[in-house]
Amino acid sequence: MSDTLKNIGLGILLSKIRFSVSVSKVHFGFGFRVDKYIQLDIQDDNTKAVVKLWCDENNLTLKYRTKNNADILKWLSVIEPYAELLHDKKGYNRMLWVIDNPIPRANPSTPTNVFHDWVKKWDDIENDI
């Protein structure tokens, strides 16, 4: 396919892709967890086809929501050269931070200050972004 169409697909993707990271309380047991996903909301079939050209060339699966950690890492790796062009830079930076700084495991042997320190850093990054 045409490189022009692939580049158009990349441009659409950079404007439509959203990165979501949230911290929530665990319903069973104790502690908190981080939920993260990448979302691409493209309704128009023609637009989706153009974006799919670029995704196929980069061995990425085009789907509405990507939650699998390995798939998220793959997307982030491929998109990294275009990070400055992303519409959702705040979500992208938040996603990178939480991957580089995983939430501490809650277990009886973990001191509470470890989690507290992580939360303070999370709050700081939220304010800095």
Q: What is the pLDDT of residues 19-73, one digit of tens each?
A: 999 988 887 766 788 999 999 999 999 999 999 999 999 999 999 999 999 999 9
Does the structure show a pLDDT above 80 at 1?
A: no
- As a whole number of Å, the CA-based R_g of the chain is 17
Q: What is the pLDDT of residues 67-91, one digit of tens each?
A: 999 999 999 999 999 999 999 999 9
Is the Cβ–Cβ distance between 63 and 71 less than 8 Å? no
Token pair listed for 41: 């909301």
CA distance 101 to 125: 11
Sequence spans of domains, the chain: 3-128
- CATH number belonging to the domain at 3-128, selected among 3.30.1330.10, 3.30.70.1560, 3.10.28.10, 3.40.50.1860: 3.10.28.10
Nearest Cα neighbor of 17 from 77, 70, 59, 79 is 79
The helix/strand count (H/E) of the chain reads as 5, 3
According to DSSP, residue 18 is labeled E
User: What pTM did the predictor assign?
Assistant: 0.87
